[in-house]
């Protein structure tokens, strides 16, 4: 018996619906599986990727000469600098905003992480100093200038210039432009540390020519193999410095 037009139309629609469903199922069976999102690594190394974006992979150094190496620096020194940025003694908007909400304890954890990294140093930069400038710089670094009240850099930063744990940084392996900028900032009072600010006192006694020579000489010196901060001072530092013994840092 012939079907009525409405019944035929309904049967066709039902078959098209079933066919459409079958096509969808087959298409899904051949479609590639969606990529699984990488699991979040809840580690300090993951959390400090914002730092390495400027300071280079693992904090080795930035590519432009103005972002210093932070890998392997003494933990107390790094913690103090983070505190200085957070509390407004050092001024760089990106750093100030990045650490503004962080506690002392968390800043100490970040510092301890970077201090624990033992990665290769870059080769030294070619010297741009003439013989007179190089001699002047080396004399200031090794002996200072007693007549102007300038202590030797080595008296605080260690005879190997690789720092003194846990609060004094090494000066080798840093870009010339960074050293020049920081010594200039201390000299002018734009960079400030905890009181008494020993580096401001020292840098204020340097001339612009001294700053240029010392920065260029330090940047051209090779970093000793297996460079580590000295475990302590051989003799008491020549000046009181507020950046020493300011924050307790847990060893890793």
Residue 133 dihedral angles phi and psi, to the nearest 5°: -65, -40
Reported as a single tens digit per residue, the pLDDT across 104-161 is 999 999 999 999 999 999 899 999 999 999 999 999 999 999 999 999 999 999 999 9
Interval 69-95: pLDDT, tens? 999 999 999 999 999 999 999 999 999
Query: Model-level pTM?
Result: 0.79
Q: How many CB atoms lie within 10 A of CB 48?
A: 18
Spell 120-138 as b/e; 16+ CB within 10 A means b: ebeeebeeebeeebbebbb
């Amino acid at each position: 018996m012939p079907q009525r037009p409405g019944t035929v139309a309904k049967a066709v629609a039902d078959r098209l619906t079933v066919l459409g469903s079958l096509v969808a199922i087959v298409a899904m069976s051949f479609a590639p599986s969606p990529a699984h999102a990488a699991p979040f690594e809840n580690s300090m190394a993951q959390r400090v990727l914002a730092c390495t974006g400027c300071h280079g992979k693992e904090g080795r150094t930035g590519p432009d000469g103005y972002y210093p190496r932070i890998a392997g620096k003494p933990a107390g020194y790094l913690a103090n600098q983070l505190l200085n940025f957070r509390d407004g003694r050092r001024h760089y908007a990106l750093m100030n905003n990045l650490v503004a909400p962080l506690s002392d304890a968390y800043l100490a954890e970040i510092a301890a992480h970077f201090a624990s990294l033992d990665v290769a140093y870059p080769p030294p930069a070619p010297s741009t100093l003439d013989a007179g400038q190089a001699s002047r710089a080396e004399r200031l670094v090794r002996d200072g200038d007693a007549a102007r009240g300038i202590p030797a850099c080595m008296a605080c930063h260690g005879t190997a210039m690789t720092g003194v744990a846990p609060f004094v940084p090494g000066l080798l392996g840093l870009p010339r432009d960074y050293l020049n900028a920081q010594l200039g900032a201390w000299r002018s009072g734009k960079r400030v540390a905890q009181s008494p600010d020993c580096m401001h006192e020292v840098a204020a006694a340097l001339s612009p020519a001294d700053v240029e020579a010392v920065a260029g000489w330090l940047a051209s010196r090779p970093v000793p193999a297996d460079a580590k901060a000295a475990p302590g001072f051989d003799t008491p530092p020549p000046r009181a410095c507020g950046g020493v013994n300011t924050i307790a840092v847990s060893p890793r």
